[in-house]
Structure 1
Amino acid sequence: MPAHKSAEPVANAPTTTMATDAAFAPAAPRAGGRRPLRNMSEVRHFFRTNDVPIYFIGATPFNLLGLDRWVRNFTYITYYDAWDGAHPRVFTPAHKPYVRFESGEHINNWLLENAEVRALISGRVTPGVRPKVAMVFFDAETERICEELGYDLILPSADLRERLDSKIVTTQLGEEVGVPSVPNTVVAVDDFAGLVEAAEDAGLGGDLVVQLAYGDSGKTTFFIASADDWDKHGSEIAGKTVKVMKRINNRPVAVEAVLTSCGTVVGPFMSELTGHPELTPYRGGWCGNEMYPEVLTGDLRARAADLVRRLGNRLDEEGYRGFFEVDVLVDVDTDEVYLGELNPRISGASSITNVTAGAYADVPLFLFHLLEYLDIDLELDIDDINRRWQELAAVDLWSQMIIKETAPAVERIETAAPTGAYGLDASGALTHRRSALDWHQLQSESEAFFLRIYGPGDYRWKGADLGVLVTKGRLQTGRPGSAATLTIRARHLIESIRGHYTGTPVASPVKGDTVDVDTRPGIVT
């Protein structure tokens, strides 16, 4: 398949999909002393005429796909190109030699230092204007590279994010401002007896959830109710300071927010898809989201929104600015609302947040983040924005599924589901209808958009992210949480996408023409 992924329009670009809206708008004349932006009309105009190059860098463009509709001069620089060169705003280096990537940060740093990427960015530089760079995963090395190259990394510092990323620090900050977590104790234990003793002292009972301070919750959260459970996971827990929680019957809810100079903008609430074996091999692992009016209503919604705003106020004291995501846990038995986790970054839920009714009435949530890093003064009524987004949440109905490989074998992919718009034909079969740039044009539950991540020539293994499917409508039955099951439609969608994949088994991880598949990082979360 074609190796070069152009950032400019190409001949084989999708012709049946609406072109990006802001990408080719004229720039506004540069002028000093710009007055503060006071309303959404002014904010929209500012971004449609933006003349500052902004780049989202990552393994894929998934998290912010579609933002180029709103922001002029917005480009995705990615390692994987799901469109094989046909997306006018996606750039992928043509020459990609073997690299054993160990993390999402490693991928992004490689892209920043890549000669083709540097040439692309330098070719668009305007005197006196520094390119702006955003990404999900970054570290101190990322900051060093950007400083050397003259780019502005428009994110909170790596040191601050590292501190806030700790589940233990999040718990402590929440407690300082009256944001409760599930009853817990923070302790270091060496064996099962020590865990039981610590839990008894804290009144947590014998059915426990143990979390490491850092890491993907699907891989670093352990459910322990017996010595046998400890024997399975004890080696990963012993000697470390961990958060030990009472296990509750909870309903996980995700919400994204942006801390601005005017206050915290709280996005729509979403239920989470977690641990579904059809989607992920990881028990408790995140594998998607649903947005629908009944996720949280009435008093529960008000309490959850207040929790997020109070946490945002506390993050302000830490010097944080911009985008963050909060996992809220609702106790199904008591209706208590608890702080779950803080993700101080762009998240996997951003894809849905950017197509909400609130986003179309105002602007996508991430644009408030950009305003914080583009040296723009704001005089916005954040309370009014939050009220409007809460009212408009009653008309939103979106879902997404992260489809991982669940089989234990390693295979070289021969065929894969193409990126684009899908629909149900007269027989009920899901078919690929056309190429598409993103999921913004979906109209009904009979349609879906699939973003391919790994394609022909790549490898799939247990836990590999095959792609993301976005659709209208719900994908779970029952109350989200431990009792939730996937709908018949959801299972049909998953089986249909998986049906496109064929592969040739390999006896061991392959090196030389691909990344070591045993160490490939997750690239969506």
Structure 2
Amino acid sequence: MQLRDLEDLRKIFKRISGKIAGIGITAFSRISLAFFMENFKIFCLKNTLDLPILRKIAHITCLGELEEGLNYLEATSTDILSSETVQRELLDSDIKHLYVYQSYHNMEMLLKDRCISTIANEANLREKVSSKEFFVKFLEDLAIRQLRYEIITSKELLDTKAGTLFNMFKGPFVVQSLQIKKGGGRGVFIVETEGDLSHVREIISEGMLHNVRLKDFLLRPYVKGTSMSMLGCVTRVGVLAGPLQYQLIDLHGPTSIGERGIFCGHSWSDDMESSLLEEASRLIKKVGNGLKDIGYRGIYGIDLIWDGKELFPLELNPRLTGALPALTLLQLEKNVVPLELIHVLAFVEPSIRYDLSSLEDSLMAGVKGAQILIFYHKHHQTLSPKLKAGRYVWNGQRAIFLGPSSGLIPKGEREFIVVEVPRVLNERVLEGGGDFLRMARILFKNPVLDDNGDLLDWVRDLLKWEKGENLGGDKRTLSSDNHNTSCLQQGSG
């Protein structure tokens, strides 16, 4: 069967043999398939206030509702899959595919004798291509222009003279650990002065960070520019590119030890410069075709930095990314076949014939909208949560709760929808690790950045209000008040 549009997509999903179930830390993170499959099942960990809304379109088993004492910090899909509750439901069902964030070795072992496949690349391949060292060398093999880089050991970073390092990059540079696999700014430091370098060396000399032994580092020049990213999807017949998206970075400040590059959301605009879109698309496809040659399938994301003249690739994320499912919801709103669903078909219906030109035209047309992640800084804030799941409107001074949402895309200009708020808020049940623990996601119908890349005034005021109202913080200030919110150091993850 051929895939050209949403009508074709719905027909294809109706004929798929074998049930698909989603596994995610939150139910919202796997909700996309519920729009295409009847009785879609989701297994999730976190008991969130949006579950009543999501249960209108999906069947959800939430371990946080059923099992006391669950610790959500650094949890993975494998932890959910290992639960006796989930194992029992899988045994009594005809589920044939599990839709997961990414595959893990222990997950593959658990499913080995169950005749259940994961909608994800095998862990061995994912681990290989997610390596930062692999990616910079992969770009060289593909003859894709990138920022100058050096890979050095801890000893070399500790012993090399400061002047030598600054001369190497003709100014400030970024230090990124190669051993810390999780992104979101972990193990990323900007070095602009000798004092910054001394601070980084002090951390490195301890030998461990985030429970990981530090050995090697990727160094690149620090370029002040616009942080962007783009998704690609490898299918049997070719590579598709998604819309170019702005990334929101460091809205809530650096970590207590100065790590930078904390991912805080996206802003999507449908009026990007065509030349920039074409350049990003060419890059994404070239990388995608290279990945296809080594057996990769499905979605991947590439973090990019645009300095106003050139677009540089920074990092490869060979898995579902933080853009989903928000991007999927926005694409459905515009009647565009979502890249996320093409990813699913690459694993469960690989024989589908794709009308690549029609699909790409609609995907590249772009969408409008945004999402912002709300974090709790455990060292600087106290929890006094008042957020509810559902629709809000900003009245210029505060957010007014309008009630549970009947959909997941806001309608009014200053409306927004809040999802993924834990029912009980404490550090044990908040998702994440390190200083910043995630406590909510806010969805917008329009972009949240102005033409200069700064947060719109009303969105900035909203975040200040939310910070003071829910986190016991100083609502007069936001860490991004004095810099461009889309400015990113290299290698944010």
In structure 2, the residue matched to 1:432 is 401
Match of 1:54 among 10, 16, 20: 20
Contact 1:398 1:472 in 2 (8 A): yes
1:42-84: CA deviation from partner (whole Å, max 9, x where unpaired): 3321124545322221211343434411333432211113237
Contact 2:393 2:415 in 1 (8 A): yes
Question: In the TM superposition, what is the alpha-carbon distance from 1:158 to its structure 2 partner?
Answer: 0.7
Higher RCO (C-alpha 8 Å, min separation 6): 2
In structure 1, the residue matched to 2:449 is 476
Match of 1:233 among 175, 190, 200: 200
What is the identity, as a one-letter code, of the residue corresponding to 2:373?
I
Q: Give me the TM-score of the superposition, normalised by structure 1.
A: 0.78
What is the identity, as a one-letter code, of the residue corresponding to 2:186?
K
Alignment of 1:10-409 (within 5 A): 36-40=1-5, 41-48=7-14, 50=16, 52-83=18-49, 86=52, 87-88=54-55, 89=58, 90-93=60-63, 94-100=65-71, 103-105=74-76, 108-125=77-94, 130-190=95-155, 191-194=157-160, 196=162, 199=165, 203-213=168-178, 214-237=181-204, 240-277=215-252, 283-294=260-271, 296-332=272-308, 335-357=309-331, 360-390=334-364, 392-393=365-366, 396-406=367-377, 408=379
> 1:497 and 1:49 mapped to 2: Cα distance?
45
What is the identity, as a one-letter code, of the residue corresponding to 1:363?
V
Q: Match of 1:453, SS?
A: coil
What is the identity, as a one-letter code, of the residue corresponding to 2:21?
Y
Cα RMSD between the aligned structures? Answer: 2.9
1:111-147: CA deviation from partner (whole Å, max 9, x where unpaired): 112222233333331xxxx521122254211111122
Q: Match of 2:112, SS?
A: helix
Question: Deviating runs (4+, > 6 A) in structure 1?
Answer: 278-281
The 1:327/1:494 distance shift into structure 2, 3 A limit, reads same
The 1:153/1:407 distance shift into structure 2, 3 A limit, reads closer
1:448-507: CA deviation from partner (whole Å, max 9, x where unpaired): 110133333533694111100011223234534xxx4x332112322444465378xxxx
How many equivalent pairs are there? 449
Question: In the TM superposition, what is the alpha-carbon distance from 1:307 to its structure 2 partner?
Answer: 0.3
> 2:470 and 2:246 mapped to 1: Cα distance?
29
1:348-386: CA deviation from partner (whole Å, max 9, x where unpaired): 112332033477434221111111111441221223321
The 1:262/1:283 distance shift into structure 2, 3 A limit, reads same
The 1:72/1:500 distance shift into structure 2, 3 A limit, reads farther
> 1:46 and 1:432 mapped to 2: Cα distance?
39
What is the identity, as a one-letter code, of the residue corresponding to 2:458?
R
Question: In the TM superposition, what is the alpha-carbon distance from 1:236 to its structure 2 partner?
Answer: 5.0
Question: In the TM superposition, what is the alpha-carbon distance from 1:400 to its structure 2 partner?
Answer: 0.7
Contact 1:280 1:287 in 2 (8 A): no
Q: Match of 1:354, SS?
A: helix
Q: Which runs of 5+ in 2 are unaligned?
A: 206-213, 473-492
Contact 1:51 1:72 in 2 (8 A): no
> 1:257 and 1:303 mapped to 2: Cα distance?
14
Contact 2:337 2:359 in 1 (8 A): no
> 1:419 and 1:209 mapped to 2: Cα distance?
38
What is the identity, as a one-letter code, of the residue corresponding to 1:289?
H
Aligned residues: percent identity?
18
Question: In the TM superposition, what is the alpha-carbon distance from 1:278 to its structure 2 partner?
Answer: 6.8
In structure 2, the residue matched to 1:492 is 461
Of stretches 218-227 and 487-496 in structure 1, the one that deviates more from structure 2 is 487-496
What is the identity, as a one-letter code, of the residue corresponding to 1:82?
T
> 1:200 and 1:495 mapped to 2: Cα distance?
37
Of stretches 157-166 and 44-53 in structure 1, the one that deviates more from structure 2 is 44-53
> 2:346 and 2:443 mapped to 1: Cα distance?
29
Contact 2:28 2:420 in 1 (8 A): no
> 2:194 and 2:468 mapped to 1: Cα distance?
41
Q: Which runs of 5+ in 1 are unaligned?
A: 1-35, 504-524
Contact 1:322 1:372 in 2 (8 A): yes
In structure 2, the residue matched to 1:444 is 412
The 1:65/1:121 distance shift into structure 2, 3 A limit, reads same
Contact 1:161 1:344 in 2 (8 A): yes
